[in-house]
Amino acid sequence: MAIADGSVVLDPGLAEAGNRKIDWAAQHSPVLNALRESLLKPGSLAGRRVGIMVPLEAKTAYLALVLRDAGAEVAVTGTSPAYVQDDVAAGLASRGVTVYAIAGVPADEFEGFYERVLAFRCETLIDDRAELVKLAHTKRADLADGIRGASEETTSGVTRLRAMEREGVLKFPVVAANNARCKHLFDNRYGTGQSTIASILRNTNLLLAGKEVVVVGYGWCGKGIARRAKGVGARVTVVEIDPVKALEAYADGFEARPLDECAGRGDVFITSTGVPDAIGREHFERMKDGVILANAGGLDVEIREATLRELAVDEREARPHVTEFTMRDGRRLHLLAHGNLVNIAAADGHPVEIMDLTFAVQALACRHVLLHHEELEPGVHDFPAELDEEIALLKLASLGMGVGALTPEQAEFRGTWE
Amino acid sequence: MAIADGSVVLDPGLAEAGNRKIDWAAQHSPVLNALRESLLKPGSLAGRRVGIMVPLEAKTAYLALVLRDAGAEVAVTGTSPAYVQDDVAAGLASRGVTVYAIAGVPADEFEGFYERVLAFRCETLIDDRAELVKLAHTKRADLADGIRGASEETTSGVTRLRAMEREGVLKFPVVAANNARCKHLFDNRYGTGQSTIASILRNTNLLLAGKEVVVVGYGWCGKGIARRAKGVGARVTVVEIDPVKALEAYADGFEARPLDECAGRGDVFITSTGVPDAIGREHFERMKDGVILANAGGLDVEIREATLRELAVDEREARPHVTEFTMRDGRRLHLLAHGNLVNIAAADGHPVEIMDLTFAVQALACRHVLLHHEELEPGVHDFPAELDEEIALLKLASLGMGVGALTPEQAEFRGTWE
Amino acid sequence: MAIADGSVVLDPGLAEAGNRKIDWAAQHSPVLNALRESLLKPGSLAGRRVGIMVPLEAKTAYLALVLRDAGAEVAVTGTSPAYVQDDVAAGLASRGVTVYAIAGVPADEFEGFYERVLAFRCETLIDDRAELVKLAHTKRADLADGIRGASEETTSGVTRLRAMEREGVLKFPVVAANNARCKHLFDNRYGTGQSTIASILRNTNLLLAGKEVVVVGYGWCGKGIARRAKGVGARVTVVEIDPVKALEAYADGFEARPLDECAGRGDVFITSTGVPDAIGREHFERMKDGVILANAGGLDVEIREATLRELAVDEREARPHVTEFTMRDGRRLHLLAHGNLVNIAAADGHPVEIMDLTFAVQALACRHVLLHHEELEPGVHDFPAELDEEIALLKLASLGMGVGALTPEQAEFRGTWE
Amino acid sequence: MAIADGSVVLDPGLAEAGNRKIDWAAQHSPVLNALRESLLKPGSLAGRRVGIMVPLEAKTAYLALVLRDAGAEVAVTGTSPAYVQDDVAAGLASRGVTVYAIAGVPADEFEGFYERVLAFRCETLIDDRAELVKLAHTKRADLADGIRGASEETTSGVTRLRAMEREGVLKFPVVAANNARCKHLFDNRYGTGQSTIASILRNTNLLLAGKEVVVVGYGWCGKGIARRAKGVGARVTVVEIDPVKALEAYADGFEARPLDECAGRGDVFITSTGVPDAIGREHFERMKDGVILANAGGLDVEIREATLRELAVDEREARPHVTEFTMRDGRRLHLLAHGNLVNIAAADGHPVEIMDLTFAVQALACRHVLLHHEELEPGVHDFPAELDEEIALLKLASLGMGVGALTPEQAEFRGTWE
């Protein structure tokens, strides 16, 4: 099977397997499918150039195809060597989209893929953790000229972009796609929640009912994880630094404790914090024999494999995606997916329907930048509220559900104070 | 028992019963109790004058006593004749706080109590639905001179105040106490959730397990109600006008439908919308025999008793707080608490611990206005974030729980983008 | 209003209030209402004599009326002075049923009511904890002559009856109504579960979300209580003596601990064990300040008020149905309903729909004994399975729900092993 | 690596991968590990001969090793070509246990493995669906001579055995291991529940939150599945033929409907019924486009693949373990695992900790037969209650949890009726 010009993928022969995954994603993406016939119909993005850097699996591929079918030229890479599925990369390239991605290559080689995407003369970027944007403002500022704007997928990316905005260095507008309600309320909560727990189940074959699960971080992701952990019968303890979130955890039926207090009693630890070393050496030293460690946060060093390696006298693969570290005193700690995102690196990522919402946001954010960049100042911008509502309405319609409406009297009542 | 000078209460002889309720509230209010020894210690508000208008029951009384013990002069009324407990009013007055409140008096007589509170020469107001603020800007602007500011308890009050701010008529600063995280995340969700369902259970003696509960409005209150309804085994359908909230309801495991579609199948209907006639004539006409109707929203006309009365051929009290309306075709519709807030008018209001948080916010908002009004522009102000966190920390400490902390490396990591 | 001949009630003037409650129960009892037109139609029990001794509130009254309308002569009492509602007793008597019951009279006076029921020349008894049966086998064996059989409402009553059967002393057949699936699966679980938690909420006005609730006993009742406690957001610890039930509790997401280990950390303690002193002196001594103690089990000494009284230096009514005992060290322990069943003595008992199922079982058990006693040996008998299924079908039909059916091929498949 | 004499496995070279899985199972089996040092210590079964036929994966292998290490000679096969993991078979054989099992061979070839197990001169059998027992009573009665007894793993097997017992053909005692409380309360509920939902999640990558899941059959397995489906946010409808179970489903918060009524609205259908064609042609014809079909019941024809094939105009593998059947009208129905048990054929089976309980029952049932067969009549026997409790105590001890105890007074109280 032929692949797109200039693409770099592991093995074009994997295309058929990849395409099957992409077709499955397409089949369960009612919102993107509805947009293909309306805001993103063929020709609507004719000739525009888009660069995408998000974890490269089937749903990402379908986003790229939707944009391509709307008329855009699209180049795609993954976010790291851990977050590429080679068969999907091959499948996508076989359909004529330019792909630069090979799983498992060294980090510096992978960074070359980032640069190739920038070099694709993109007008807009769909970015993750603001990595492409950062690159375009630092090392490869030479490639930033034609960039009109970008959109950003993650909480930590938005935090970074706001820091750039504060310092006045951000050169173009970026839509905080992450902050769209149809993104963070669903992706970070139901998406991360289900897929993190499901990945732990499939990779360990252990029972969660009755277990003590320690969730480190109680943002939207942590809330989703805790809820699903409870949903399979676990008891949950939450570790937070924000006292109000800790109190929410308490009122949600969980204990709220510093990690120092609960490191010794958890059976499973899941991080979603956005900070490095969320679980540190002093905590590993106190854990019970047999614990499971999984990261669902943006950084692959929230649980740092190197620290475990330093502490361990032995290391082996206990099951696929499960590394067993044996401590000096004989305790065995099991790290999943080497500390990478457990739902992406050791499973198939978020559920399809969730990414349908997220990527509908991204596709329309991309369109918004391409159509309106002249009206947008450099800086971080909200995703337009009316597009957010449009996405929700399309999704509800696909479910056969719907919303009510205010009567004129009710609408008037809400607008006045007297 | 003697009562405070000028107080107007039904029967001073009820004071003992009321004081017992107040003592119970005091015993379960760890945050206010901690504040009595720190930010609100005796003398801290010496000589300041405060007016309070919130539903007058035991927890409100304890708020008034905390402020009084900090040195303030305090005048208190309820929000309506339906939201006053006469024994608590008597108890509070017996402890030397000025009270103007009698349950069940005509509405215009009750408005006189509002005016008396304004006439108390208050420097700050603790307000509900912005009623006192409105009065001080309209009919009784003559009494507004000494007012330095206010704080506001409810979502709909904040909406009103923002309308006033937009129109440029608001004369003093108002702290949106409702928007404090320690308020709306807890009061509107866990408070309204538990107390609404508990009130329906106690007043109907019916089983909710298996029943179809229709929750109209999926704001913070509606979310709390739906969760607790599910927690007692009900199936829940959500009616919303905001498509993203409707989609959240779907992902939370509920159906999202216009009321037109589900009026005929619900067993119990609960409103929390902030708009009048959230359930209207056309819906009543379609309901099943025996349905329960309860309001948990800010307006007593979200389910309008007058409409039911027009449609009915017969009306009787089926149980205390349950009015049975018999329709022409023989169907019986049961309205709880005449459409007033079912958890306040037909039960003891929010749980004590919730009001401890809410009133800690109010007490500190009140203190903030009194101490800092000169720095605050007229308009709607956020509750200070550091006070919000302080309240959460005090609550966690009372529970023996706590939070973690960032290491210096983690804190630095979060502040930079490079 | 006239009352039935020979009835003993507190005040016939309470009849109207009582009748309103009974009407409410009737309105929400679809199964009994369907039986009135089929198995229990007028005349079907013509001239038979029935004695009832179960907690006397509205649903019990409706059971008596259904039997009476089927043609029976009925005499009714409650189970103890704590489990009688005087208005309902008056209402029932006003409708021509013989009632012997006054709330709050001394225990020995109340026992006189039991004897009067026996003296009513009953052919069958609807009994609770086998108290009437025991009386008819001991002190008042003289009144047992005409008794053809009985049916039994409770788990602990069935245990007693089996002991009598083992010893060969039981003189007539007793249907273990408690063991009917339509009884214990619903009454003991959803009925006790909802009504126990609801009673605690209404009587304390406290928040359960986040609280540590210790459920002592994990039989059907305890399971229901734990589930509903979790449903309002509590964390639950279960105390059991049966290791398999303890393990079920663990797998249900709770901790399983001896009471010795968790007496010091619970916020709320609920017993449902069937044994005296389920919580004992050594546990009271270890409890935190402010705990809530509630009994939902068959014995009023599972939490023995007398023990608390011995330990206390002070005792007062903190709220209606809440007795506060102050220990020597200042800790305050709050006992609800004096240790009586918290859902009956301090609220309106089980939900109506649950008692509709339970009393449909009782009514048909009563009918079964009256029609078939000649075929039944003395001893404990199962409730007929086909009647159990009939009740479930009537209930499902009232809900508009239903069951599937096996095809002939499937039915045949299930019957063979080859 | 050498394998046990006479073993038949696909590829001895897979032993290392299989042994890693077995080690993982061993590590998370605290009950079997405790029994190795007590009731099943080395030598305790010296020289006894045991045949095992249950799905052959890592936990089964560990059961075989525990019995072997207690001194027994053990022969093992799987239940069908779909329920064998070749690497585990190789690993087990490499440790000296006799294995006859190859995945994916034709059914008649696989039956040869059953016969080889019988021919191993077993004294006792650990059986599944009574297949070995049946074989030993019919076609291969010639091999039954030395068999002293058996134990049975499944609900449907016990049903079969009771039919044999009724007909008086059963020649030896069989322990109904399935009916042990430590088996059916956990394996059928928490085991099937978690692993069925987890398998659907991993094989479809779809979101269950908000979806309508139809659970066909509400026995212990169905109850577990429904609970976990709700736990990931699904709405659940239950199909039952037993009206009381249907009513339980209703009270658990689900709808109870005949399949005829809900075939057209479900998104996911899961069977656990024990009867063939639980979902039939007339239901397939009414389903929505895109539905997921999964079987978690004992028969691989509860959802019959052949029926789908007859109805379909096209068939393809949409994802691994997902067969897409396209109907004449374009609707696509997705059958998982060809209708085999979705948690075993398309995932790693029950959670390890669950099988630790189940296989502790089996190991002790096996021991019970070997030690006590002379005292046991031919027929179906209960698993001894004291062994059941012993297993639960060992498990609780491994968790650091425990049970309380009756005081002598309480014990006496429970034994008397007077």
Amino acid at D122: C
> Taking a C-beta distance cutoff of 8 angstroms, is the pair C202, C347 a contact?
yes
Average pLDDT of span D52-73: 97
- Residue B404's pLDDT band (cuts 50, 70, 90): very high
* pLDDT at residue D1, as a whole number: 58
Residues of chain A neighbouring B407 (CB-CB closer than 8 A): 277, 280
Q: Which pLDDT belongs to residue B389?
A: 97
CA C113/CA C77 separation, integer angstroms: 6
Cβ-contact C184, C362 below 8 angstroms? no
Q: Are D237 and D247 in contact (CB under 8 A)?
A: no
Looking at chain C, the whole-number percentage of residues with pLDDT higher than 90 is: 96
Matching residue, tokens 């019919």: D138
- Residue A254 pLDDT: 97
Query: How many residues can be counted in chain A?
Result: 418
Task: Return the residue of A nearest to B394 by Cα.
Answer: A243
What is the mean pLDDT of the segment spanning B335-344?
A: 97
Inter-chain touch C318–B23, beta carbons under 8 Å: yes
Percent residues over pLDDT 70 in chain D: 100
Say if the Cβ atoms of B232 and C231 lie within 8 Å: yes
Q: Provide the 3-class DSSP secondary structure of residue B279.
A: strand
Find the angle CA(B17)-CA(B20)-CA(B22) to the nearest 5 degrees: 115
What rounded mean pLDDT belongs to chain B?
Answer: 96
pLDDT of residue B416: 83
How far apart CA D312 and CA B388 sit, in angstroms, is 62
Of C209, C252, C255, the CB nearest to A251: C209
User: C389: distance to nearest CA of chain D, Å?
Assistant: 6
Number of Cα atoms under 13 Å in the Cβ half of residue D226: 28
Rounded Cα–Cα distance for residues A395 and A113 (Å):
34
Residue B414 pLDDT greater than 90, yes or no: no
Helical ranges in A101-176 per DSSP H:
107-118, 131-137, 155-166
Q: What percent of chain C has pLDDT over 70?
A: 100
Q: What's B418's DSSP letter? A: -
Is the pLDDT assigned to residue C2 strictly greater than 80? no
**D280 exposure class (CB count in 10 Å sphere: 0-12, 13-18, 19+):** middle
Between CA A153 and CA A173 the distance in angstroms is: 14
Distance CA D190, CA C281 (A): 37
Residues ≥6 apart with Cβ < 8 Å to A329: none
User: What single-letter amino acid sits at A179?
Assistant: N
Distance CA C37, CA A261 (A): 64
What is the number of H-type helices and E-type strands within chain A? 18, 15
Question: Which phi and psi (to 5°) does residue C373 adopt?
Answer: -60, -25
The two structure tokens encoding residue D173: 């005692």
Which residues in chain D are contacts of A231 at CB distance < 8 A? 228, 230-233
Q: What is the mean pLDDT of residues C363-380?
A: 97
- DSSP states along A338-394: GGSBHHHHSS--S-HHHHHHHHHHHHHHHHHHHHHGGGPPSEEEPPPHHHHHHHHHH
DSSP string, C160-223: HHHHHHHHT---SEEE-GGGSHHHHTTIIIIIHHHHHHHHHHHHH----TT-EEEEE--SHHHH
Please write the tens of the pLDDT for every residue from B138-176: 999 999 999 999 999 999 899 999 999 999 999 999 999
Cα separation, C352 vs C26, in Å, equals: 9
Each residue's pLDDT tens digit, A363-388: 999 999 999 999 999 999 999 999 99
Beta strands B235-239 and B292-295 are: unpaired
Residue C68 to residue C77: CA distance in whole angstroms: 15
- Please report where in the chains the tokens 């010496």 appear, as a residue: B46
**In the prediction, which pLDDT does C418 show?**
78
Give the C-alpha separation, B215 to B46, whole Å. 45
Regions of chain A where pLDDT drops below 70:
1
CB contact under 8 A, C230 and A209: no
Structure tokens at A226: 């805790």
B57 residue type, one letter: E
Q: Are C76 and C98 in contact (CB under 8 A)?
A: yes
pLDDT at res. B1: 59
C251 vs D392: CA distance, rounded Å: 12
Give the closest residue to A337 by CA, choosing from A312, A311, A307, A301. Answer: A301
Confirm or reject contact between A354 and chain D (CB < 8 A): yes
Question: Following CA atoms C79, C81, C84, C89 in sequence, which dihedral angle do they give, to the nearest 10 degrees?
Answer: 100
User: Measuring CA to CA, how many Å separate A326 from each of A54, A204, A290, A292, A334?
Assistant: 34, 17, 10, 13, 9
Q: Which single residue is written with the structure tokens 């003696």? A: B205
Question: How far, CA to CA in Å, does C186 sit from each of B307, C159, C236, C380?
Answer: 38, 19, 21, 21
| Angle of helix B352-372 versus helix B385-399 axis, rounded to 10 | 150
- The answer for C 359-398 residues in CB contact with D (under 8 A) is 388-389, 392-393, 395-396
pTM of the model: 0.95
Give the angle subtended at the CA of B383 by the CAs of B380 and B387, to the nearest 5°: 165
Q: In terms of Cα–Cα distance, which of B169, B122, B124, B176 is closest to B153? A: B176
From the list A118, A107, A91, the residue with the least C-alpha distance to A20 is A91
Shortest Cα–Cα distance, B207 to chain D (Å) = 9
DSSP codes, D288-324 = PTT-EEEE-SS-TTSB-HHHHHHHEEEEEEEETTEEE
For residue C1, pLDDT beyond 70: no
Best C215, C247, C281 residue to mutate vs chain D (most D CBs within 10 Å): C247
Model confidence at D3, pLDDT cuts 50, 70, 90, reads confident
Q: What is the DSSP string of B190-206?
A: IIHHHHHHHHHHHHH--
Name chain B's partners: 3 or more CB pairs within 8 A: A, C, D
CA pair distance C236, C224, nearest whole angstrom:
12
How far is Cα C387 from Cα C180, in angstroms, rounded to an integer?
Answer: 9
H runs (alpha helix) in C129-170: 131-137, 155-167
H-helix segments, C312-373: 342-345, 352-372
Measured in whole angstroms, the distance separating CA A226 from the mean position of its chain's CA atoms is 18
Contacts of B194 in chain C (CB under 8 A): 201, 207-209, 232-233
Q: What is the pLDDT of residues D91-131, one digit of tens each?
A: 999 999 999 999 999 999 999 999 999 999 999 999 999 99
Fill in the amino acid letter for A242: D
- Are B219 and B185 within 8 A, CB to CB? no
Asked whether the beta carbons of C219 and C398 are under 8 A apart, the reply is: no
Dihedral sign (CA B159, B160, B162, B166): positive
CB contact under 8 A, D28 and A290: yes
pLDDT computed for residue A274 by the predictor: 92
User: If you compute the radius of gyration of chain B from its CA atoms, what whole number of angstroms results?
Assistant: 22
Q: Look-up: residue for tokens 């375009």?
A: A136
Q: What is the pLDDT of residues C57-102, one digit of tens each?
A: 999 999 999 999 999 999 999 999 999 999 999 999 999 999 999 9
- Residues C223 and C337: their CA atoms lie apart, in Å, by 22
Which residues 71-130 of chain B have a CB within 8 Å of chain A? 130
C-alpha B256/C-alpha B218 separation (Å) is: 10
Cα separation of A272 and A278, whole Å? Answer: 9
* One-letter amino acid for residue A255 of the chain: E
Q: What are the structure tokens assigned to D157, written together?
A: 């097997």
Q: What would the pLDDT profile of B77-98 be if each residue is shown by its tens digit?
A: 999 999 999 999 999 999 999 9
Q: Which residues contact D43 (CB under 8 A, 6 or more apart)?
A: D70, D71
Q: What is the mean pLDDT of residues D256-276?
A: 97
Show residues of chain B in contact with D253, CB under 8 Å: 209-210, 230, 233-235
Q: Is C286 helix (H, G, I), strand (E, B) or coil?
A: coil
Predicted confidence at residue D71, as pLDDT, reads 97
Q: What is the mean pLDDT of residues B16-41?
A: 97
CB contact under 8 A, B27 and C348: no
Q: For residue A4, what pLDDT is reported? A: 84
d(CA A18, CA A24): 10
Inter-residue contact C123 to C50 (CB < 8 Å): yes
- CA A346 to CA A339: how far, in whole Å? 10
pLDDT attached to residue B4: 84
B318 with C24: Cβ contact below 8 A: yes
